[in-house]
Structure 1
Amino acid sequence: MNASEQATNLELVSAIAAVVNLFKNEFPEIKSDLKPWQNDPETRELVDPDSIDIGFHFPGRSKSFQSRSILIQIRFHQDPLSGDRTCIGVEAAGFDHRGKQWRLSTIENWQCEGETQPQAEASEKLKQFCRQIMEIFNT
């Protein structure tokens, strides 16, 4: 679900801002998009209400990330008994004019997979971002 729609209280707003700042501190030229999903019926059917989705757009194609945009989906699970909501992982995907080029899931094997893949250093940086994102939401 779009981060802008999930920002319903001060705690979530602060956490979303912290995630944006993680990327902005490393890549000052990157533009964040708190509404990466269109608001149409077809897209609405695909949106996960248990995620916070943020898009990041480079000014051009990033050679190190092998993409122009990165979509970050922060996944949550709410315990039905306790009501506690925890971050269970992060999904990331890199896109360019040809569509999705790669994906990384911390829920699966923490490996980038796809047509093209980020360079090794960028891949490690992305994994570090994912760890930090999980810390932000599970603290």
Structure 2
Amino acid sequence: MATNLEFASKIAAVVNLFKFEFPDARSDLKPWTNDPQTRELVDPDSIDIGFHFPGISKSWRSRSILIQIRFYQDPVNGSRRAIGVEVAGFTHLGEQWRLSTVENWNFVGATQPSEEVGEKLKNFCRQILELFNKSSE
């Protein structure tokens, strides 16, 4: 999706926003394995970024975070907008929780991040949507 400098800069800004709030995280711009089954699942209209923590974070209740920024391209005017952010937390046991900005912004899953981390994460999602949807004029 990083087809031009502006878009690539916005992806880098997302990584920096996350690392500003959570400096221990290590970013992964290619969070998927490169096999046929995985490639079938990857949404071509999204940006997927992984973040990994050293060990399992008690406040996150996970070790890895997958962020998927979903886009919609208007067929009439060609504009591209971010329509939502999906965030999931994983441990060695698999997905532990999920947050979607598409519906009600609530966490669902076996566990949930702490309230403080949850609020920071929701604010991060708001910043992502603002970043990708603000006009470049």
TMscore range, shorter length: over 0.9
Distance in 2 of aligned mates of 1:32 and 1:38: 15
Q: 2:78 aligns with which of 70, 79, 83?
A: 83
Alignment correspondent of 2:59: 64
1:22 aligns with 2:17: yes
Spell out structure 1 runs of 4+ moving beyond 6 A: none
Distance in 2 of aligned mates of 1:121 and 1:28: 15
- CA deviations on 1:32-66 (whole Å, 9 max, x unpaired) are 00000111110011010000000000111111111
Alignment correspondent of 1:42: 37
Distance in 1 of aligned mates of 2:17 and 2:50: 13
Q: 2:105 aligns with which of 110, 114, 124?
A: 110
Q: Which runs of 5+ in 2 are unaligned?
A: none
Q: Percent identity?
A: 73
TM-score by length of 2: 0.95
Distance in 1 of aligned mates of 2:78 and 2:3: 17
Q: 2:8 aligns with which of 6, 13, 20?
A: 13
1:55 aligns with 2:59: no
Indicate the RMSD between aligned Cα atoms, in angstroms: 0.7
Q: Which amino acid letter does the alignment assign opposite residue 44 of structure 2?
A: P
- CA deviations on 1:111-139 (whole Å, 9 max, x unpaired) are 00000011111111110000000111011
Question: How many corresponding residue pairs?
Answer: 134
Distance in 2 of aligned mates of 1:104 and 1:28: 21
Q: Which amino acid letter does the alignment assign opposite residue 25 of structure 1?
A: F
Q: Is the 8 A contact 2:54 2:63 kept in 1?
A: yes
Q: Cα offset for 1:12?
A: 1.2
Q: Is the 8 A contact 2:89 2:97 kept in 1?
A: yes
1:99 aligns with 2:94: yes
- CA deviations on 1:89-117 (whole Å, 9 max, x unpaired) are 10000000100000000001100000001
Q: Cα offset for 1:8?
A: 2.0
